[in-house]
Amino acid sequence: MDYSQIAKEIRKKVLKMVFDSRTPHLGSSLSAVDILTVLYFKILKIDPKNPLDENRDRFILSKGHAAAALYAALAERGFFPKEILDGYCRDGGKLPGHSTRGCVPGVEVSTGSLGHGLPMGAGMAIAAKNDGKNYRIFILMSDGECEEGSVWEAALFASHHQLDNLIGIIDYNKLQAFGRTNEILNLEPLKKKWEDFGWKVKEVDGHSFSEIEESLSKIPFEKGKPSLLICHTIKGKGVSFIEDKLEWHYKNLTKEEYDMALKELK
Amino acid sequence: MRNAFINTLIELAERDKNIYLLTGDLGFSVLEKFSQKFPERFLNCGVAEQNMMGVAAGLALSGKKPYVYSIIPFITMRCFEQIRNDVCYQNLDVKIIGVGSGLAYGFLGATHHAIEDIAILRVLPNMTILSPADPIETRELVLKSYQVKNPTYLRLNKSGEKILYNLTSQIEIGKPSVLKEGQNGAIIATGISVGLGLEVVEKLKGKGYNFKLVSLHTLKPIDEKSLLRELVRQKIIFTLEEHNIIGGLGSAISEILAENNWQGKFERLAIPDRYCPEIGDTEYLRRIFGLVTNKIIEKISRIINQ
C-alpha cells in the first residue's frame, strides 16, 4: 500500500479545509495524518459501507481539534463523498471544528474538550469484554492532553480492569498552544509514567508508516494490559515552513502560503 | 430512598442484562445487594468521577444502560463537563444517581451539601431531572425513567423518608402530582421538601386554610399545561425546596408563571444564596434557613393576612 500517497492526499485536503474556513489547528491536524493513514488503511477493522457494524473496531479522536485530519482520512477511506469536506467549519456545513458523533459516518464520539476520549474508550472496552466481542478501541490523544487529570484516572482504570482491547496513541509533537510541552507542564518521563500506571508502552517515529504499522499489528502489546503507542511526531508535518512552528496551532494560511504548501505536497 | 432505588434497580437488572451500576466508591452498605447479584455489572470506579462519567458514556455508546451513583456534589460538579459533553451532548442513556439532596449530609459540611445541583443541571439540553419525595415516588420514577433513553438525573435524599403516597398511578414523568387539594393557595414542593409541605398544609388546615400541595418530582421537563391547570385559579403560590433559592424549583416555576401572565402573590421558600454558616445536623440547619414547619406557617400566615 502506498501510504505516502494517501497521506499526501489527506494533507492536501486538510490544507484546503483549514485555508477555506480560516480556522485554527492546522499544525495539530498535520501532525496526526500519518498515524491516521496507517489506522484507517491498515489497522482498523472497519467497513465504510457498514460504518455501524457492531463488531467494528472503534476509533476515538480524543484530540478533537485535529478533526480536519479525521474527516479527510474518513473521506479518503470512502466513508462519505469528498465534497462534504467543503462544509468543514462553514455556515450550514456538516463538519464542525471538533469531531462530533454522527456528523458523518465513521465519527464515533463527540470530542473537543481534552481528556474525554480515554474514559469513554475504557467504557467501550469494558462493554466489549463483557459481551465477549473481539473489537478493539483506539484512542488518539495529544501530548498536551496528558496534562488533564482525567487521562490519568482513565489510565488507572484501564490497567486495573486489564483492558487489553484498549489502545492509546499519543501524538507527541511536543508543542502546545503557548509553547514547548516540557516548558509549560513537563510530561517527562512520559513512557515511564504510563508504564507505572500499568500500561505496556512502545515508542515509534510517528511519521514512519512501517514503524506505526508494525507496532499496531500486534495488539495487545502484552496480554492483560492496555497498550500505549507514543508516536514522536512533528507538529505541522509535511509542509516545511509549518513544521515544528508554534504559531501554526492557531495561524491561518495566506493565499501565497497555501499555494506554497500545496506545491510541497505535489 | 436509597434502598427504594437499589431494590428497584435490582428488579430491572434481573430482566435487563444491559443495566450496569457504577459508583465512585460511595454507597457502602447500600449497593452491596446489587454487586453481590451482578458482580460483572457493578463497577466501583474508585474516587475518580470524571473517568467514571466518561466510562458510563462509553458503556452507553456500546448499548449498555449505566446508572452512575455517588454523593450529589461529586457526581454532578466534579464531572460536570463529562455530563455536558459525553452524556448530554451525545444524548446518551446514562442515569445519574445523586444521593444527599440539600442539607441531608448536615454535619459533613458545605462540601457535602447539595444546593446548586438542580440549577447547573437544568441548563443542560437533553437532561431530565427527577426529584422524588419519598420511596414510592423513587420507585415509580426509576421504573418510568428506565423506559426513557435520555440523560437523567435522579436527585435522592438518603434514608428514612416518610411515605407520602397511597397511589402510584398518578406519578408520571413531567407531570405534577397533587397530594392535597385546596383553594386558599398552593405549595409546590420537590424532593424531601414535599414532606415538609405536607406538614405545613395540614397545620394550615387547622387554622382554617385549605392549601393545595403539589409534588413536582420532575424539574425538567415540566409539562407546563398540566402544571398551569393546577395553579391557574390560585392567588397565592409558594415553592418549597432544599436547594439554593437561585436556579432551582422556584426559578423554574416563576419562569412559567411569569410567561403565562399569572397574577397573584408568589414566593420562593428555599436556602438563601450562601453556604451554611453553622455546624449542625440536617434539622438544625433547616431551622437556620427557616425551612421548618413553624417558620413557614408564620411566613404564609403573614402573606395571607396582607
Over residues B181-223, the pLDDT tens digits come to: 999 999 999 999 999 999 999 999 999 999 999 999 999 999 9
Report the relative pairing of strands B128-130 and B218-220 from DSSP bridges. antiparallel
Shortest alpha-carbon distance between residue B63 and chain A (Å): 8
Is residue B168's pLDDT more than 80?
no
> What's the confidence (pLDDT) of residue A249?
86
Over residues A184-241, the pLDDT tens digits come to: 999 999 999 999 999 999 999 999 999 999 999 999 999 999 999 999 999 999 999 9
- Selected residue of B55, B80, B93 to mutate for chain A interface (largest A Cβ count, 10 A): B55
Contact between A120 and B87 under an 8 Å Cβ cutoff? The reply is: no
d(CA B236, CA A93): 50
**Would the CB atoms of A120 and B57 count as touching at under 8 Å?**
yes
* ipTM of predicted assembly, 2 dp: 0.96
Residue of B nearest to A56 (CA): B62
> What's the confidence (pLDDT) of residue A187?
97
Flag residues of chain A having pLDDT under 70. none
- List CB contacts (< 8 A) between A112 and chain B: 85
- List CB contacts (< 8 A) between A125 and chain B: 58
> What's the confidence (pLDDT) of residue A209?
98
Q: What is the C-alpha radius of gyration for chain A, rounded to an integer number of angstroms? A: 17
Residue of B nearest to A151 (CA): B51
Question: C-alpha grid cell for residue A103?
Answer: 456528523
- List CB contacts (< 8 A) between A120 and chain B: 54-55, 57-58, 61, 86
Reported in sequence order, the residue ranges of B88-217 that DSSP labels E, i.e. its strands, are 95-99, 128-130, 152-156, 177-180, 185-189, 211-215
- Selected residue of B20, B51, B78, B86 to mutate for chain A interface (largest A Cβ count, 10 A): B51
Over residues A227-238, the pLDDT tens digits come to: 999 999 999 999
> What's the confidence (pLDDT) of residue A219?
97
Q: Which residues contact B77 (CB under 8 A, 6 or more apart)?
A: B116, B117, B120
Q: How confident is the model at residue B165 (pLDDT cuts 50, 70, 90)?
A: confident
* Helix/strand/coil for B158: coil
Is residue B264's pLDDT more than 90?
yes
Domains and CATH numbers, chain B: 2-156 (3.40.50.970), 177-304 (3.40.50.920)
**Would the CB atoms of A120 and B89 count as touching at under 8 Å?**
no
Domains and CATH numbers, chain A: 3-264 (3.40.50.970)
> What's the confidence (pLDDT) of residue B159?
87
Contact between B49 and B78 under an 8 Å Cβ cutoff? The reply is: yes
Q: What is the C-alpha radius of gyration for chain B, rounded to an integer number of angstroms? A: 19
Contact between B186 and B234 under an 8 Å Cβ cutoff? The reply is: yes
Shortest alpha-carbon distance between residue B48 and chain A (Å): 6
Q: How many CB pairs under 8 A join A and B?
A: 91
Q: Residue B29, class by beta-carbon neighbours within 10 Å (0-12 exposed, 13-18 middle, 19+ buried)? A: exposed
> What's the confidence (pLDDT) of residue A42?
98
- List CB contacts (< 8 A) between B43 and chain A: 126
> What's the confidence (pLDDT) of residue A266?
87
> What's the confidence (pLDDT) of residue B170?
78
Nearest to A123 among B50, B55, B85 (CB): B55
Using alpha carbons only, what angle is made at residue A148 by residues A143 and A150, rounded to the nearest 5 degrees? 120
Over residues B23-75, the pLDDT tens digits come to: 999 999 999 999 999 999 999 999 999 999 999 999 999 999 999 999 999 99
Nearest to B51 among A109, A125, A153 (CB): A153
Q: How confident is the model at residue B279 (pLDDT cuts 50, 70, 90)?
A: very high
- pTM of structure: 0.97
For CA atoms B109, B106, B44, A126, the dihedral sign is negative
**Would the CB atoms of B57 and A101 count as touching at under 8 Å?**
no
A59 touches chain B (CB under 8 A): no
